[in-house]
Amino acid sequence: MTSLADLGPVAQLRAGRLPRRLTQLLVGLVLYGASLALMVRGRLGLAPWDVLHSGLIRYLPLDLGQMVIVVSVLVLLLWIPLREKPGIGTIANTLLIGSSADAVLAVLPAPHPMALRVLFTVGGVALCAFATALYIGAQFGRGPRDGLMTGLVRRTGASIRLVRTGLEVTVVVIGLLLGGSLGLGTVLYALTIGPLAQRWLPAWIVDVGPAQEPAIAASASR
């Protein structure tokens, strides 16, 4: 099976199948933003980091997508002491997911029947997992939140499960205190995003040749 490589920005561009990988990266990130918009319109709860984003916009004059970008930049600053190196995918992730979310929210009305709200929420989670497989499989590096997780894993020696759970519990608690949106959709996301992304990822990993350094993991968060 094709494996994930941990490549620097220059190596990412020199690796093979660049047009296919760039297209897959961009499509994956745009769909990721669309999945966020679907969950927002479903009004049944958001993904853990988006609980934080939805809480912050209650106090700051920003749209949800703009807040996603701002938090991504702040998280990238935390990479500095962790000595994580951003890649092309890191920058694209920072800019495109929030922009895509706002664009879809601008044209997607909120459904009123509960059946449609459930469909939006379930569809948002499934689309997020598929989008995750696309953008990670493009082999352009981790997103800001994934890099924070892997950096903490390297620095603390703790397990990925422990670090990721700790981060997501922290952002959910802060988001709730700020009035963010928590619900059944949050639970559904937490339980299914990892297994779904793991199931779809192997089919979308683009072979770029022998990995220079094995990646820690294919996480299913941004």
Name the residue ranges covered by the structural domains of the chain. 17-204
Q: What type of residue is 188?
A: L
Q: Identify the residue with better confidence: 1 or 14.
A: 14
pLDDT band at 98 (very low <50, low <70, confident <90, very high): very high
Question: Other CB atoms closer than 10 Å to residue 102's CB: what's the count?
Answer: 20
Residue 164 pLDDT: 84
Distances (CA, A) of 203 to 126, 197, 206: 16, 11, 8
CA dihedral 203, 144, 221, 182 (to 10 degrees): -150
Helix (H, G, I), strand (E, B) or coil at 80: helix
User: What's the whole-number mean pLDDT along residues 86-114?
Assistant: 95
| Residue 89: how many other CB atoms lie within 10 Å | 26
Give residue 85's pLDDT: 85
pLDDT digits (tens, 9 = 90+) for 35-61: 999 999 999 999 999 999 999 999 999
pLDDT tens for each residue of 120-156? 999 999 999 999 999 999 999 889 998 898 889 889 9
- What local confidence, expressed as pLDDT, does residue 161 receive? 80
CA–CA gap between residue 3 and residue 18 (Å, rounded) = 17
The DSSP secondary structure of 127-170, one letter per residue, reads HHHHHHHHHHHTTS---HHHHHHHHHHHHH---HHHHHHHHHHH
